[in-house]
């Protein structure tokens, strides 16, 4: 079931997104689905890549996933972030990226909240490069 985007504003708003997405994004992780905005998931539940991402029209603390359509291939010069280092994590800005590559409003999006679990200390250690 797709999430209800009417709840996009308020405590679930993302300051760097001017408009709410036109369609809800359906994100599935192994054994878990983000089926409501603000759903609480643990780092253990989302530590691997999603097993499925879809939205209407597709054939096949708060964390956000936004989908943008691009008119042409992008030649990005931003560093690719590793899950083994915390370097550059606080520097990425969606609004700046969107403007730099002339992307319109997101065509789909969702958000969920993270909560503490036993994987968090391992994640901090991993991001510290230990």
What residues does each domain of the chain span? Answer: 5-127
Which of the two residues, 14 and 71, has the higher pLDDT score? 71
Q: Give pLDDT tens digits for 80-106.
A: 877 778 887 777 788 889 899 999 888
Instruction: Classify residue 37 by its DSSP letter.
Output: T
3-state SS class at 108: strand
Q: What span, in angstroms and rounded, lies between the C-alpha atoms of 106 and 109?
A: 7
pTM listed for this prediction = 0.55
117, 44 in Cβ contact below 8 A?
A: yes
| CATH assignment of 5-127, among 3.40.50.2300, 3.90.280.10, 1.10.4160.10, 3.50.50.60 | 3.90.280.10
């Amino acid at each position: 079931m797709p999430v209800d985007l009417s709840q996009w504003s308020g405590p679930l708003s993302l300051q760097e997104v001017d408009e709410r997405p036109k369609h809800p994004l359906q994100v599935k992780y192994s054994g878990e689905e983000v089926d409501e905005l603000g759903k609480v998931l643990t780092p253990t539940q989302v530590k691997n890549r999603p097993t499925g991402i879809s939205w209407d029209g597709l054939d096949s603390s708060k964390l956000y996933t936004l989908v943008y359509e691009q008119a042409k291939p992008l030649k990005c010069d931003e560093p690719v972030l590793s899950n083994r280092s915390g370097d550059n994590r606080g520097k990425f800005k969606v609004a700046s990226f969107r403007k730099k590559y002339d992307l319109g409003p997101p065509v789909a999006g969702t958000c969920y909240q993270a909560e503490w679990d036993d994987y968090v200390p391992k994640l901090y250690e991993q991001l510290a490069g230990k």
